Amino acid sequence: MGLTHVSLSHLVSISAHRLQPTPSPRRLIEKGYAASDVEMRSVDLLKGENFAPTYLRVNSAGTVPTLVVPLAETTGREQDTKFRALTDSVAVLNFLDASRSQQLLSQKNAAVDALPAPALAPATIEGKAASDALIQLVHCAEADPNFLLLCARSADELAAQAGGLQGAFVKGRDEALQRYRAEAAANADTVNPREASQNSKLLAFYDDKIAAQAPLVGAYLQHDAGAIAGFVEASRKAWKALPSTLAKLETQLQGTYALGDQFSLADVHLMAWLARLLAVVKGLPGAPDDELEALDAALKHEVCGGTAVGPKVRPQKAAPLAAVAHHADLLSPNKLSAYWKTLKTRPSYAAVYGEGLH
C-alpha cells in the first residue's frame, strides 16, 4: 500500500529547449520519452508540501500532478520564456501525448529518434467518446481510491490506520495547513497591496482546506466519537459505491486494452486508477497477497458485512459476490481481471510498479 508513493507525486517542468516531463512515468514510458527529457520534482503529500505558497503559485488547487510547459510563442532564444502550468492529470497526459510527434522526434538526436512515439489518443470520434467516458469514470469523486485509502469501515479499522500511514498523512497535512495558515495570518498587515491580496487568497484557501479536512481530523486525530461515527458511515458508503464503478468498467472495456487491441490514453488513466485501488485493497486487514483476490475479498466484505460498529451484521449464506455480480459479472474470470493481467505485461507497469503497487 502506498502512502509513501502517494508522496512521490510529481511536479514536472518542460524547459524551452528540451522536452521534459512528467507527472506520469507511465505516460513517459509508453510515449517513448527519454529520461533526459525529464525534469521531475517530488511534492511530498505526507508533509503537505502541496499546500506551500510556492506550490500554490504554480497550482492554485494544491493538487498533483502539475506539468509546467513553455508557451510555444516564447520558446525562441531571443525571448524570456513564459510558462503555463497544466494542473490536472487529464490535461497533463493529453499534452504529453500531443507533444512528442514523429515530426518532433526527427528534429532530435538519433538515440531519442529510435524510440517510438505512438499516438495514444484515439483516432476516431467513437473511440474518443469511449475513451472520455472511461477517463471520466475513474476520475469521478465517487470512485476516488485515495479516499478509500483513508476510509475506515469500523472504529477498529480507524484505530489501526490512525497508527499507520493514513494517520501520518492526516497529521502531516493538518500540521502543514495550520502552519501555512499561521504564516499567512502573520503577514496579514503587509502594506504591499499585491502581497496583501495574495495573502488573503492564501488565508481563504487554507480555511477551506482546514474545513474540508475537519471530518478526517476529528476522526483520526481528535478521536471525537461523533466524527468517528460520521466518518465510518461515509467510509461504508464509499466502499458500497465501488461495485457499481467496477461494473461500469467491466461493461465499457472493449478488448485486450480499454478501447480494443491498441494501448491508448484511457489505459494510462485506468492503469493508475486500478493500481491505486488494488494497492488499497491489498492493504486492508487480512487481505490476500494476490491483488485481484484482495479485491474480491474487499467486495465480499461489503456484501457480507465485516467488523461492524454497532450491531454485528451476520454474514449472508449466499455466495458473497453474487450480490456484487448483480451489477455485472465481477467473478473471476472476467474482463477486468484479464485486463489487469494484460496491463501488468506492459514495460511501463514494471517500471512504475516493479517495487509494489501504489
Grid cell listed for 265: 490514453
Task: Note whether 50 binds ligand GSH by CB under 6 A.
Answer: yes
- Are the beta carbons of 335 and 254 closer than 8 angstroms? no
Judged by beta carbon, residue 63 or residue 75, the one nearer ligand GSH is: 63
**How near is the Cβ of 120 to ligand GSH at its closest, in Å?**
17
Task: Note whether 88 binds ligand GSH by CB under 6 A.
Answer: yes
Judged by beta carbon, residue 9 or residue 13, the one nearer ligand GSH is: 9
Options 8, 39, 63, 196; binder of ligand GSH; rule CB under 6 A? 63
DSSP letters along 289-328, please?
SSHHHHHHHHHHHHHH--S-SSSPPPPPSS-HHHHHHTTS
Task: Note whether 178 binds ligand GSH by CB under 6 A.
Answer: no
- Are the beta carbons of 203 and 185 closer than 8 angstroms? yes
Judged by beta carbon, residue 26 or residue 335, the one nearer ligand GSH is: 26
Judged by beta carbon, residue 63 or residue 334, the one nearer ligand GSH is: 63
Task: Note whether 45 binds ligand GSH by CB under 6 A.
Answer: yes
**How near is the Cβ of 102 to ligand GSH at its closest, in Å?**
28
Cis check for the bond before 311: say yes or no (omega within 30 of 0). Answer: no
**How near is the Cβ of 144 to ligand GSH at its closest, in Å?**
8
| CA 91 to mean position of chain CA atoms | 14
**How near is the Cβ of 327 to ligand GSH at its closest, in Å?**
25
Task: Note whether 94 binds ligand GSH by CB under 6 A.
Answer: no
| CA 311 to mean position of chain CA atoms | 35
Task: Note whether 139 binds ligand GSH by CB under 6 A.
Answer: yes
Task: Note whether 24 binds ligand GSH by CB under 6 A.
Answer: no
Exposure string for 258-289, b = 16+ CB within 10 A, e = fewer? bbeebbbbbbbbbbbbbbbbbbbbbbbeebee
- Are the beta carbons of 86 and 66 closer than 8 angstroms? yes
Q: Which stretch binds ligand GSH (CB under 6 A): 28-36, 59-67, 120-128, 322-330?
A: 59-67
Judged by beta carbon, residue 145 or residue 306, the one nearer ligand GSH is: 145
Closest CA to 233 of 310, 132, 320, 289: 310
**How near is the Cβ of 84 to ligand GSH at its closest, in Å?**
16
28: enclosing H helix or E strand: helix 25-30
Query: CB burial class (10 A; 0-12, 13-18, 19+) of residue 106?
Result: exposed
Query: CB burial class (10 A; 0-12, 13-18, 19+) of residue 348?
Result: buried
Judged by beta carbon, residue 173 or residue 335, the one nearer ligand GSH is: 173
Task: Note whether 89 binds ligand GSH by CB under 6 A.
Answer: yes
Task: Note whether 337 binds ligand GSH by CB under 6 A.
Answer: no
Task: Note whether 21 binds ligand GSH by CB under 6 A.
Answer: no
Task: Note whether 146 binds ligand GSH by CB under 6 A.
Answer: yes
Judged by beta carbon, residue 89 or residue 166, the one nearer ligand GSH is: 89
Residues of this chain that bind ligand GSH (CB under 6 A): 9, 45, 50, 62-65, 88-89, 139, 146
